[in-house]
């Protein structure tokens, strides 16, 4: 199974407020804000979302591409990449795999979390 392409970008920042203002100046709208200086912005014209996350000043910043798949169990990563973290449930409700490309750049591969099967009620 292949991906649906780039669904979003994780953009790390040292200044949440200034970065949000920057992206808003480019036409993006804040769609979701967390209580720890992070959130998702989308452009009304479409395209990938930007998930902006503030990091401590001493941390080197990254931009991580996010790709989407329909089913974590059916996804086969390319042999030329290296899985650095298997699919793991995240606090935002998705499953996420971290996959490094041949040059070591990390990509986030997201899939819907498995839906629970309803329990049968006993009579």
- Secondary structure of residue 108 in the 3-state scheme: strand
Domain assignment present for 118: no
Rounded Cα distance between 42 and 27, Å, is 9
Q: Is residue 122 part of a domain?
A: no
**Domain count across the chain:** 1
Within-domain flag for 49: yes
Q: Is residue 119 domain-resident? A: no
**Structural domain contains residue 121:** no
Q: What is the pLDDT confidence band of residue 2, given thresholds at 50, 70 and 90?
A: confident
Q: Say how far apart CA 62 and CA 82 lie, in whole Å.
A: 18
Predicted TM-score (pTM) above 0.85: no
Tell me whether residue 34 is in a domain.
yes
Tens digits of residue pLDDT in 43-100: 999 999 999 999 999 999 999 999 999 999 999 999 999 999 999 998 777 899 999 9
Three state DSSP letters for 25-37: HCCCEEEEECCCC
Q: Is the dihedral of CA 67, 73, 79, 84 positive or negative?
A: positive
Neighbour tally for 22: CB within 10 Å = 13
Structure tokens of 96? 């996420």
Report if residue 1 sits inside a domain.
no
User: The domain spanning residue 15 has which CATH number?
Assistant: 3.10.180.10
By residue range, what is the domain housing residue 17?
6-112
């Amino acid at each position: 199974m292949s991906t649906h392409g780039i669904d979003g970008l994780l953009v790390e920042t040292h200044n949440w407020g200034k970065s949000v203002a920057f992206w808003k100046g480019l036409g993006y709208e804040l769609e979701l804000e967390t209580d720890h200086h992070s959130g998702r912005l989308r452009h009304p014209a479409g395209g990938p979302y930007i998930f902006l996350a503030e990091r401590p000043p001493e941390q080197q910043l990254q931009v991580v591409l996010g790709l989407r798949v329909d089913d974590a169990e059916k996804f086969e990563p390319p042999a030329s990449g290296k899985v650095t973290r298997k699919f793991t449930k995240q606090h935002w409700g998705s499953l996420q795999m971290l996959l490094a490309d041949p040059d070591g750049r990390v990509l986030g591969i997201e899939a819907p979390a498995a839906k629970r099967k309803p329990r049968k009620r006993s009579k």
